[in-house]
C-alpha cells in the first residue's frame, strides 16, 4: 500500500476518534478537537497562537471569528464568524483530505471561494492552492458545460469582498473569464455583481485594454525578512500563475504581503 495513503488514513483515524487531542477550535456553534502538531505545521496563524502565551497550556482553546482588527478590509456582511462549513473543510484538509469540497456540493464555486478566504485568513498555503485550482476548474466548466451564472455572480461578490485587493488569485480567474467570455456581462445577475463591487468595472477595463501589469512587474523593491503581525517572516514565493517571485509569508500576511 502507498505509504502516503497509510499516513493519511492514520491522520483520519486520529480525527475520527478524537484521541490525544490538545487543541479545540471553536467557530460559531461548532467545535473541533484537533492536534496542535498537525494543525500548526500547516497554518501560520495557529502556529503563532499556540506558541504565544497564554496559549502554551497543555490544551488550548481558540475561538475563531474575532479577527476584525486584522481584517478591516472585509465588507460588513463578511465580518463576524467565519463560514462554519469552510472551517470544517479546512480541518478536514489538515487531516489529509486533499480536496475537501465534495463534487456533489450545491455551489462548488462559492465553496471554493469561501475555502480560499479561510486559507488566506489563517495562513494555510496548501489549502490556498487547492482552493485556487478548484475555483479555476469550476469556472472552466461554467463556460464549457453552461453552469449556473447566478452561482458565478454570487462568487464574484464574495471574492471581491473577503480578501485584500492585492490577493489576486481568484480575482485574476474571474477577470480572465469575463475577458474571454464578454457575453457573460450581458446577464442580469453578472451586471448586478459587477455594479455592486467598487472598482471591479475599472479592473475589467484595465484587463481589456492591457493596462494591468502582469504578475511580478512592479517598481516596489524586493524585501525579505520583514515580519507581519503574527510574527511570520516574509519571504519570496513563486506566483501560482506566472512563476515570478512575490513577497509573502505563510498564506500571505495581511499587513505586508504585496506584489514585487
Span 120-142, pLDDT tens digits: 999 999 999 999 999 999 998 88
Per-residue pLDDT tens digits for 88-125? 999 999 998 777 888 888 889 999 999 999 999 999 99
Q: Which fold has domain 3-212?
A: Potassium Channel Kv1.1; Chain A (3.30.710)
Rounded to an integer, the average pLDDT of 51-73 is 67
Residue ranges of domains in the chain: 3-212, 216-260
- CB-CB contact of 96 with 8 (8 Å): yes
Confidence of residue 212 (pLDDT cuts 50, 70, 90): low
Amino acid at each position: 500500500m502507498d505509504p502516503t495513503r497509510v499516513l493519511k488514513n492514520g491522520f483520519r483515524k486520529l480525527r475520527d476518534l478524537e484521541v490525544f487531542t490538545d487543541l479545540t477550535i471553536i467557530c460559531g456553534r461548532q467545535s473541533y478537537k484537533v492536534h496542535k502538531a498537525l494543525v500548526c505545521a500547516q497554518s501560520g496563524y495557529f502556529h503563532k497562537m499556540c506558541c504565544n502565551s497564554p496559549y502554551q497550556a497543555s490544551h488550548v482553546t481558540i475561538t475563531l471569528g474575532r479577527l476584525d482588527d486584522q481584517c478591516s478590509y472585509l465588507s460588513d456582511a463578511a465580518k463576524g464568524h467565519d463560514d462554519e462549513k469552510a472551517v470544517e473543510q479546512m480541518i478536514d484538509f489538515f487531516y489529509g483530505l486533499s480536496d475537501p469540497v465534495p463534487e456533489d456540493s450545491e455551489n462548488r464555486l462559492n465553496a471554493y471561494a469561501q475555502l480560499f478566504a479561510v486559507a488566506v485568513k489563517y495562513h494555510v498555503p496548501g489549502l490556498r492552492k487547492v482552493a485556487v485550482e478548484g475555483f479555476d476548474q469550476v469556472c472552466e466548466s461554467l463556460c464549457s458545460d453552461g453552469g449556473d451564472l447566478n452561482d458565478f455572480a454570487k462568487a464574484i461578490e464574495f471574492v471581491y469582498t473577503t480578501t485584500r485587493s492585492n490577493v489576486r488569485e481568484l480575482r485574476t480567474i474571474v477577470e480572465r473569464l469575463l475577458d474571454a467570455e464578454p457575453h457573460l456581462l450581458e446577464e442580469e445577475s453578472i451586471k448586478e455583481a459587477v455594479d455592486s463591487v467598487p472598482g471591479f468595472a475599472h479592473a475589467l477595463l484595465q484587463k481589456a485594454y492591457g493596462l494591468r501589469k502582469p504578475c511580478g512587474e512592479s517598481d516596489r523593491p524586493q524585501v525579505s525578512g520583514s515580519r507581519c503581525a503574527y510574527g511570520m517572516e516574509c519571504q519570496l514565493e513563486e506566483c501560482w500563475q506566472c512563476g515570478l517571485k512575490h513577497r509573502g509569508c505563510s498564506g500571505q500576511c495581511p499587513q505586508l504581503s504585496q506584489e514585487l
